A and B are shown apart, each in its own frame.
Chain A
Amino acid sequence: MTFSGEFFAFMALALVAIIGGVLLLNLNKVVHMVVALIFTFVSIAGIYILLSAEFVAAVQVLIYSGAITIIMLFGIMLTKPYDESEATTGKWRKILVFLGVLGFAFAVYLGIYHLDIQQVPTTLHEDNTLQIGKALYSKYIIPFEFVSVLLLVALIGAIILAKREDKEGDKE
């Protein structure tokens, strides 16, 4: 392993991402938690660039750091979560889940540790967006259209679910 620039970049980004995640778990205010997560999302975008996926990185910033975080903030504001105290009854469950997560991580890490794949030179970094566009509009055209349908359904579903039901009650 050489201490190249790439390595340092990865270390920095990974550190920020993990710190964001830990902050998510440990901050008290809900809004702070969401803001902490923005760090994570942005550094994951950086990781994508390291993995020669510029387009995915851009989309990550747009969708996660932008759209989803904003939606969540709206959700928090609309629901007024005044009570920020954690329930005391869940203490045992927290410990158990923590142990479970540790065990799970250990089991999966064994798999990662033993992973040995020969690296193959790739051309992903050349005209990355063009490659993705070609793939999407040729090989993946049908799933692509399905995703558009899915988004439409989600849009309509979200509207119907979130719509106030008072008016319907009045009609009835």
Chain B
Amino acid sequence: MENAWLIPLFPLLSFLLLLLIGKRLREASAYVGILLTLASLVFSILVLFERFSEPTYMAKVNWLTIGEVHLTAGFEVNQLNALMLFIVSLVSFLVHTYSKGYMQGDERFHVFYAYLGLFTFAMLGLVISPNILQTYIFWELVGVGSFLLIGFYFYKEEAKAAAKKAFIMTRIGDVGLFIGMILLFWQTQSFEYSEIFKAVEAGSVSNTMITLTAILIFIGAIGKSGQFPLHTWLPDAMEGPTPVSALIHAATMVAAGVYLVAALFPLFLASKTALLTVAVIGGFTAIFAASIGLVQTDIKRVLAYSTVSQLGYMMLALGCGGYVAGVFHLMTHAFFKALLFLAAGSVIHAVHTQNIEEMGGLWKKLKLTAPLFLIGTLAISGVPGLSGFFSKDEILVAAWEGGHPVLFLLALIAAFMTAFYMFRLFFMVFTGDARSEQRDVNESPSVMTLPMVLLGILAVVAGYINTPWFGSFLGDWLVDGNPILGAAHIEGPAWIMIAATVVSLAGILFAYFIYGKRSIAPDWLSGKGDMLHTVVSNKYYIDEFYQMTVVAIVTGFSYFLRLIDTFLVEGIVKGVVGFVQGLGRTGAKMQSGQVQTYGAVAFLGLAVLAVIYALTGGYLR
């Protein structure tokens, strides 16, 4: 565990290597990236297993000393960090492998791998930071990495816009995080997590301040995790390559927000208001995004909204005090959502379209992708026996026991919607009649399917490490030595589990009747509420709303600033330029190359000095 700091350095090495010699390596750059992330993965697994038996390890060095304040840099391996290390490096490794097939033949193949390395480095660095300042630095690095990856196809207007949007939207959240961080520092004189928690526990920080900082930090998490109202960047970010979506929008970057809330959980626990805010935002996002997901027709956008919705679930769990449930769902979601994205990528790779209305009958053609996609769909829908079922059940229990019946109801409805839209997606893509324009549809190469198989297995079995039946191993481990984080396992009434099962099965059946058997016309629902359907399929006009308010104000303001820039700043600049140019021209004229002139100028300087010296009290007085 002493060497856990090496883990982020492998991808960084990959990034630097590919930056320097990637052009020469061409396709071989994939192996550099894969091998180095494999090294990270192996180390992460070792660290994870070591952490099972050993206590938290923490190392830090003094970075800056300002008066009495010592800023440190270092790393910490606690339960959450070890688990995150494992998840991130695993998904990153699988995505690296998968990309070798998916990005085959791309002109900037090595650049893609370099960016992947940078992003993985930032994310791994984020999850082992021992203080909030270091977290913030890596947090921003993650933003940079995602910007580069989303905008990878920068020659596409949409990709460019999506990258900018992702960067700016998350930045809005980052401002909150930044202010929260500074406030925390002001109150506790430290960036260290442990110091902050100690100060909060000792009550040396006023309640109002705790609430304020917790909510500000949560705003940062909202931005990164795509929670309402800053969720709009996440679906647009689907313009990036699909492996990127799997990496960023399933397992890592969006999970960073959840991770941040989890890492600062004691701070949130100290404020009822902040917890409630987290829970309400999470619950609302869960149902809100799920409802948009119902009507989307782009395969990746459906998955994107599903991600937003599932992240809302996690926030809901954390907000209800279900620390274990939130982290547990973060883990299972990382597996099955990465699986879904990779499978979707495989489908797109095969049929070259993202519109699900142009797909159909792919079950027979994609012999491996289809069952894997089904596994992912079952898992996310919460069908008993798969990982999603257990984690979702934990969240529902946490919401019920946390005393939020309304939020519990919201979560239940969202679960129904999730099951419905995921199976709508499944049926539309894999069953029904094959479209005529899709003749030569081939299964993806094994370099792409193998990571999917691995994720498929994990999506099935990952749930069993924390179940009400076989013991809550994960929960016990996560809260070990930290009683403040809450119970390892919240006992809930049995009917919740049954209700969750019934709801998800109902959703599946409903989807089956509409899109599978087609015994109910697809426009049965949309026909009923035409208005509602329009509103939902336009994503509640959130983007338009932003366009009309925020963007309009900013545009007006920037127009004003441009006026200042044109007349005031540019005038000054032109003056300076003219002055410097004139000076330069005079200087150039003096640089005539004539020794005599140089001598004359030098002598004149000497003469002036001599006269001044002689007149002002010289050498003899």
Direct contact of A and B (CB under 8 A): yes
Residues of A participating in the B interface, judged by any CB pair closer than 8 Å: 93, 96-97, 100-101, 103-104, 106-108, 110-111, 114
Q: A104-B606, A107-B610 are in contact. List 9 more A-B contacts (CB 8 A).
A: A97-B600, A100-B608, A101-B607, A103-B611, A104-B610, A104-B611, A108-B610, A111-B619, A111-B620
Bound complex: CA A93 to CA B599 (Å): 11
Partner of B597, one of A93, A101, A111: A93
For B607, the chain A residues whose CB sits under 8 A away are 100-101, 103-104, 107
**Which of B607, B608, B613 is the most central at the interface, judged by chain A CB atoms within 10 Å of its CB?**
B607
For A114, the chain B residues whose CB sits under 8 A away are 620
Given A100-B607, A104-B610, A106-B614, CB of A93 within 8 Å of CB of B600: yes
Q: At the interface, yes or no: B483 with Cβ under 8 Å from chain A?
A: no
**Which of B604, B606, B619 is the most central at the interface, judged by chain A CB atoms within 10 Å of its CB?**
B604
For A101, the chain B residues whose CB sits under 8 A away are 607
Bound complex: CA A108 to CA B613 (Å): 11
For the complex of A and B, list the 4 residue pairs with the smallest distance between their C-beta atoms, beginning with the closest. Answer: A100-B607, A107-B614, A107-B610, A103-B611
Given A93-B597, A114-B620, CB of A107 within 8 Å of CB of B604: no
Q: At the interface, yes or no: B618 with Cβ under 8 Å from chain A?
A: yes
Question: Are B603 and A97 touching (Cβ within 8 A)?
Answer: yes
Interface of B is mostly: helix
Bound complex: CA A108 to CA B607 (Å): 10
Given A106-B611, A107-B614, CB of A100 within 8 Å of CB of B597: no
For A104, the chain B residues whose CB sits under 8 A away are 603, 606-607, 610-611
Partner of A103, one of B600, B608, B620: B608
Residues of B participating in the A interface, judged by any CB pair closer than 8 Å: 597, 600, 603-604, 606-608, 610-611, 613-614, 618-620
Q: Smallest distance from the beta carbon of A38 to chain B beta carbons, Å? A: 25
Total contacts A-B at CB 8 Å: 39
Bound complex: CA A100 to CA B613 (Å): 14
For B620, the chain A residues whose CB sits under 8 A away are 110-111, 114
Q: Smallest distance from the beta carbon of A20 to chain B beta carbons, Å? A: 23
5 contacts between A and B (CB under 8 A): A93-B597, A96-B604, A101-B607, A107-B613, A108-B610
Q: Smallest distance from the beta carbon of B595 to chain A beta carbons, Å? A: 13
Partner of B604, one of A100, A106, A110: A100
Q: Which residue of A lies closest to B605 (CB)?
A: A100
For B611, the chain A residues whose CB sits under 8 A away are 103-104, 106-107
Bound complex: CA A108 to CA B620 (Å): 11
For B606, the chain A residues whose CB sits under 8 A away are 104
Q: Smallest distance from the beta carbon of A117 to chain B beta carbons, Å? A: 13
Q: Smallest distance from the beta carbon of A100 to chain B beta carbons, Å? A: 4
Bound complex: CA A107 to CA B616 (Å): 11
Q: Which residue of B lies closest to A105 (CB)?
A: B607
Q: Which residue of A lies closest to B614 (CB)?
A: A107
Q: Which residue of A lies closest to B606 (CB)?
A: A104
Bound complex: CA A106 to CA B618 (Å): 12
For A106, the chain B residues whose CB sits under 8 A away are 611, 614
Bound complex: CA A111 to CA B610 (Å): 11
Q: Which residue of A lies closest to B603 (CB)?
A: A100
For B618, the chain A residues whose CB sits under 8 A away are 107, 110-111
Q: Smallest distance from the beta carbon of A98 to chain B beta carbons, Å? A: 11
